[in-house]
Structure 1
């Protein structure tokens, strides 16, 4: 046996001691030392394994905690746990789960519409696909039923919860209570039904009556028009709004005047360059207007006459309207004229009086400029009204007044009983609109937002603005920048140009209005919980105030129903409504926030920053093709991998969503590097919980999934095949789901 190292004391036999005994003693000492060494090695390996076991995959051990993540017990987490408890764990059913489509969402519809890009484009393939889908249908339906709705619906549900939750004992004139009262009055269908058409008929009396009902004080045409425009947001003969002039460098706001949205269905005649009533749609339109007259109590003996005159005037006014593409070709947009010049061009309208009423209390003068978007129509409209006003009594002012009354009815129709709304719905269906009518609660939230947008934005912000949201935005934007830097660019100039632009942008949350300004804005608003019609009229005045704010450079965007980021100058604006449960909560495990909302935000950022990335980089095409080939290898077998191809837009979307998932995961890992801890949910931790969160929202159809040829949750299997971040290999009994690749 070799001697010990120089640092160890040699063992030698003592004088008089037998040699055999000495050898035995040396062997025992060596064995003891060897046992101690092996025990120490085993203990060290055990501790190292335990630390890695409690660590999120893909992170260096120095960043991980030795203790297992604590479970989250907040009320928001308990709700999330209830939702996830019935969800499918992608690592427990890897054989079938990632082959599903998104049911009736845009992804499936997009694939069925596409020709030559999906499975249904080859002979016999449809039959095999049908058999395969039949085998999966029950499991798929159960799985998709557990998915979260699209982002817009989730936001509306969150706002619904805010409006329906009472906050202590607050006086009726409290700002937030005004929005809640408006919403409740909209939801009170019994009260609305019981009033019928009475509120609208009372309003007609206040406007001076109506000849169709037998009484009319013959109010001046322009005074009635100014009242409709100023008090009731109704623009019968032309539309008025505020906007910028794209031809000017100084983003000055101007009054914009355009052709109105005609109720009568028209079609464009390319030969005569005029619009005419659509003969196929004219009959249901005539029936609907006749039905409105009936509901308003117009006597049968005069009903047909008023309806006929209304149709005739509508048809004549619409002749000079034209579609946008024609106005673009003929340079009819953004024609700048003064109000004084407009008065000369279209003299029948008292332009200064009508615009003063529309923008009260803002000062308007004849020297102010307005932008016209169809001057030939404006001139034709003025001439037409002049001719009708000069005709005999039967054909004179009566049709003009009826036209204005029925235009007002269209504005106020949502506040009337179901008979009016059903008449409108019947016409919409007859004209080919087969979309389902949205639930009443959604309609009432959208109506509340139109009048109380800034107040509602403030209410949402109070519940959504958190430091955790700010951290999510920062980490995600940094991760997206690093992904863009890794792309293969066509040349160095393209790379530098894009990266410089992305670096110059600043992510921000949507600006909000302080409470003082809110109080001033809504101080004069009086809401009655038992009269939706009067509340509706109040909301029209609030819309006028909002329109007036557009003239101010300090106007703050408050689109509370927005669910995607937008570019504004050098800022990327993130709406606060994005950061609400169930997509986001500050008490959630960060894996839940990053895996769901983080993925969707990364996807939106890539679309926002690089709308034409395919012209500057080859990465989208190569990565999209690689992921598609992996999908084909699983669904059809290796022999079919070259049988199908994706369009450029589909390859781009596959790249966007795969890169977004990678970027969101990288952002989450960076977050763990910074904080070195995260909570758990249902014993799911870190990357495992991150990927489960992603699969719950990957069917969100808003707004790009129609380009995906497979359900995005399949990307989990690609992530697991191309990296070591997953908690386990995704294997089936027969074969590995995907062989390791390099997409």
Structure 2
């Protein structure tokens, strides 16, 4: 029995012994190591699982913490002041984001005005900045502009002096004719006034984009639209006649003669307007501009001494009869020449009065309040007659800031960049752009309608694009921005100081075009709020004035920066590829798929209701619609990737918006403006469509705002272009 129990016990013990028993020492050690590794993996998995559950509870349940820094509180105030949270975001997100107290907020206009206030603070504190000799003239000019007492005391005297320099005019009773071309040359070169055409130096819009003198249609003080009702047109002419009569009286003209000269000026303007060729017509004819020599233009429009007038205006350029120029409307110039010849043969005095009255309008910013009020009343009456919005009233300081920034841009650009675009802002903006660019590249790699060869070319173009951020290189290096302004002579008369600045600015622009310039020539100043893509330089440009609150700040929640500034960056990047969307622009692509996506987008935008009186031309806006829709999608993709790899997201306190809801809210904030204020020539869709079109095309928007299927912002079908 003993042995059997022993044998039995022994057998039971052998079955229960550990795996190491019976193994060699080496095998035993290996098994122990494997067991410890397995236990470590199991422990790590348990800890990770618990961490994920805790993260999901804290982040998704309680949500990210609110940002309570001063810049975030300011942004919250801005959102609360500009939006209307009582509106259902699924039925009218534009009103939800932009409509407040029966009015529409205008984010870009508000940012423009804030940038002017920043410039004002700079101009009113010259002692706070290290200035080079000569740069103090910018501050002296501003102070002179703000000295309304001295301007009012001088009255019309400085303007009468200018008229005498032009030989006088019949209304004053003191007229010594200088000759038509002599007067025209003085008006163009010394006073910046172009009564019959505009002349400017600018790069050609087509390759090789070299700077060339361009002759364009004139600008008129009155909206002589072709489709106005006869009654409205008559009222407009009556108001303009009243304005011209008032100018003549303010200048001391004989009241019995003023009316005749005002009538004659209106007649000349009306006939010039009839000669204009609409832009659409010239576009269809392929005649946006024609290259001719000065000699050829002299033969076709002989009343103007083109060589002498252009030489005086564009000094220090050296011109000759064979010098090429770009003419935008050649037929207009031919007819203009014939009209002026007839007027010269009838009564030279009426033509002189027409030129003088136009000059007064050009110089009105530098004149006393009587002239400025006459111009303001005219503009207000014209807006009423053409159903335009009321004319906004701006304080004196804002006009003085605008004139100062135009004449002293080199100095003010450096100071503005120093004030608003420091290293932390530069670094954060460039980081955002890099992430947006990477998202675009990822999207291009998966684009279904693009063939492989075109895809490679597109990826190469995106990779090689230059990015200009904040301000020109010379403005970011103050020593390069130093200007002495030797040619500006500030006078006791503000008008004479103003004219000296006009001449200096034109000469500075001409010199800049004549000198070799290795860098991109910025088309907007640093305080501008418009980003753009330059085809000639293959560069996307984002001025410092745009990369400001409420669109961008290093301390904002990421959702705000990606939704506002990020969408703008993606929008401009897509303009690099706009040629692909034109007929024949991508011959090897899947044309059927591309055209289907474009047609889908066109129908998508056409399906939205518009405010009363607002029109929409889908064929004119399709490029911008594609960039808006794609820009939003790319920015959202970049933001989602950022959330995946980086923690620390915040939101705005008391706004009850999740990070992705805040992203969409910030996108819409960029588009906030009154639809009735849109320029008819604008190639963007009305602001309501710029909000509703892209957002309703995003499934993520409907998901995060929980929009019921079939509502305006959650349609049954969507389009996939980019």
Normalised by the length of structure 1, the TM-score is 0.69
2:638 paired with 1:667: yes
Report if aligned partners of 2:248, 2:258 keep a CA contact under 8 Å in 1: yes
1:24 match:
none
The CA distance in 1 between the partners of 2:271 and 2:604, in whole Å, is 58
2:310 paired with 1:351: no
Report if aligned partners of 1:99, 1:711 keep a CA contact under 8 Å in 2: no
Pair 1:494–1:327, CA change in 2 (3 A)? closer
Report if aligned partners of 1:286, 1:311 keep a CA contact under 8 Å in 2: yes
Superposed, which structure 2 residues align to 1:88-487 within 5 Å? 96-103=88-95, 141=100, 149-165=106-122, 166-167=124-125, 169-170=127-128, 179=138, 182=141, 196-245=155-204, 249-263=207-221, 281-314=236-269, 320-325=275-280, 334-391=289-346, 395=347, 397-416=348-367, 417=369, 418-426=372-380, 428-429=382-383, 432=386, 434-440=388-394, 446-462=402-418, 463-464=420-421, 466-487=426-447
2:653 match:
682
1:564 match:
531
Match of residue 519, structure 1, among 475, 482, 494: 482
1:545 match:
507
Pair 1:85–1:443, CA change in 2 (3 A)? same
Q: How far off is 1:408 after superposition?
A: 1.0
For structure 2, which runs of at least 5 residues remain unmatched after alignment? 1-11, 22-41, 583-590, 610-616, 674-683
Q: How far off is 1:585 after superposition?
A: 1.8
Pair 1:625–1:208, CA change in 2 (3 A)? closer
The CA distance in 2 between the partners of 1:659 and 1:313, in whole Å, is 48
Match of residue 719, structure 1, among 697, 700, 705: 700
Q: How far off is 1:230 after superposition?
A: 0.9
Q: How far off is 1:351 after superposition?
A: 2.6
The CA distance in 2 between the partners of 1:405 and 1:41, in whole Å, is 86
Q: How far off is 1:422 after superposition?
A: 2.7
Report if aligned partners of 1:89, 1:692 keep a CA contact under 8 Å in 2: no
The CA distance in 1 between the partners of 2:660 and 2:255, in whole Å, is 66
Superposed, which structure 2 residues align to 1:551-700 within 5 Å? 551-552=514-515, 554=517, 556-560=521-525, 561-569=528-536, 570-606=538-574, 609-610=577-578, 613=581, 617=594, 618=596, 659-671=630-642, 676-677=647-648, 682=653, 688-689=658-659, 691-699=661-669, 700=671
Pair 1:39–1:148, CA change in 2 (3 A)? farther
The CA distance in 2 between the partners of 1:312 and 1:684, in whole Å, is 59
Q: Which deviates the most, 304-313 or 185-194?
A: 185-194
Q: How far off is 1:290 after superposition?
A: 2.0
Report if aligned partners of 2:132, 2:484 keep a CA contact under 8 Å in 1: no
Report if aligned partners of 2:383, 2:390 keep a CA contact under 8 Å in 1: no
Q: How far off is 1:359 after superposition?
A: 1.2
Report if aligned partners of 2:575, 2:627 keep a CA contact under 8 Å in 1: yes
The CA distance in 2 between the partners of 1:738 and 1:317, in whole Å, is 51
Report if aligned partners of 1:606, 1:660 keep a CA contact under 8 Å in 2: yes
- Post-superposition CA distance 1:297-337 (Å, at most 9, x none): 21212223323443454456556444345556777664444
- Post-superposition CA distance 1:137-171 (Å, at most 9, x none): xxx646x98x9732343133233223225557258
For structure 1, which runs of at least 5 residues remain unmatched after alignment? 11-37, 58-67, 108-139, 270-276, 633-645
**What is the SS of the residue equivalent to 1:708?**
helix
2:4 match:
none
Q: How far off is 1:469 after superposition?
A: 0.7
2:588 match:
none
Pair 1:155–1:84, CA change in 2 (3 A)? same
Q: How far off is 1:71 after superposition?
A: 7.2
Report if aligned partners of 1:179, 1:452 keep a CA contact under 8 Å in 2: yes
Pair 1:167–1:689, CA change in 2 (3 A)? farther
CA RMSD, aligned part only? 5.1
The CA distance in 1 between the partners of 2:119 and 2:660, in whole Å, is 28
Normalised by the length of structure 2, the TM-score is 0.71
- Count of aligned pairs: 632
Pair 1:606–1:381, CA change in 2 (3 A)? closer
The CA distance in 2 between the partners of 1:251 and 1:654, in whole Å, is 27
Report if aligned partners of 1:159, 1:460 keep a CA contact under 8 Å in 2: no
